[in-house]
Amino acid sequence: MYTTRWCGFCVRAKVLLDSRGLAYEEISLDDDPAFRQTVYEATGGWTVPQILVDDRPIGGYTELWRLDREGRLDELLAA
């Protein structure tokens, strides 16, 4: 998950994953002055967080929350 310290949605994504007991790797972009270009090249998205499952971008917090709410996050992680 690509994040920055000052991003509220990054915090929410981490809280959701932590509450579900799901491990994740956090890639902090705080010290990258070109972080938007970095995250775009890695994920195709311009904003943070950008979350990947098995190197496949799923989007940001809203997409993660929606997958969890619809019960599809477990299916995605099991695949």
Q: Are 39 and 46 in contact (CB under 8 A)?
A: yes
Of residues 50 and 74, more confidence is placed in 50
Averaged pLDDT for residues 44-65: 96
Reported as type and span, the H/E element at residue 51 is strand 51-53
- Average pLDDT across the chain, whole number: 95
Place of tokens 């959701």: 16
The model's confidence at residue 78, banded by pLDDT at 50, 70 and 90, is confident
The CATH architecture of the domain made up of 2-78 is 3-Layer(aba) Sandwich (3.40)
Tens digits of per-residue pLDDT, 21-41? 999 999 999 999 999 999 999
The pLDDT of residue 52: 96
pLDDT at 18 over 90: yes
Q: Are 46 and 40 in contact (CB under 8 A)?
A: yes
Largest Cα span, the chain? 37
Q: Where are the domains of the chain?
A: 2-78
Please state, as a whole number, how many other Cβ atoms lie within 10 Å of the Cβ of residue 37. 11
